[in-house]
Amino acid sequence: MDFEHLRWGLLELILLIISVGLHEFGHAWVADLRGDPLPRLQGRVTLNPFAHADPIGTIAIPALMIFLSPGFGMLGWGKPVQVSLPNPKTRRVDDILITLAGPAMNLVLCLVIVVIGAALGVVPSLSKSSPAGYFLLSGLFLNTGLFLFNLVPVPPLDGSRLAVRFGLYSEEVFLNLARWGFIILLVLLNIPIFQQGMHWVLIQLITPWLYLWNFLLYLRS
């Protein structure tokens, strides 16, 4: 492993820790706004990414994937935000809003990245010869990917809670899926057709951000 690979690997890991941390903060913040006391009691209504990081899921496994490239997909995760949903009258709406807040935070980060890039006059780049463009574009891909992947309706991902709340399957089905959720996701991550499908959707989602980035650059020039 050369110094260049180590440097970019560390930057990618830091970017991931921040992105996952803000994703979990989104859940905690909206839960707090909806009157749920549990996230604040557990110290989760904070922008400190390490309050939301799991040593294995947010650091160890991603580091293994980034630095060693084992050749197969593995699943990382942040420390889940626990909620109590104390108001029976608004429980369904609260759960939906809290669940959506995590992926929504990743979209906010995408917007921040695009605005920063345009404000600095940085052109998005797939080449490390343009460090700023490459780093910001990596952040854009990462957060768009986190948004997309978290909407997959398999526990423990956010999409599974939304599936329950929107009636796509019952709590019983959710609990049965939850027993095997990590295994199901690990299998999916290593199936070529799933990888290709997710990549295709990712490109469709990231294209409008790139148009916006280039449009803002045009306005700046």
Q: Which residues are catalytic?
A: 24
Are 45 and 32 a contacting pair, CB within 8 Å? yes
Q: State the DSSP string of 39-68.
A: HHHTT-SSS-GGGS--IIIIIIHHHHHHHH
Q: Report the length, in residues, of the chain.
A: 221
Residue 13 has phi, psi (to 5 degrees) of -65, -45
Are 138 and 168 a contacting pair, CB within 8 Å? no
C-alpha distances in Å from residue 141, one per residue of 53, 105, 111, 190: 20, 14, 12, 19
What type of residue is 188? L
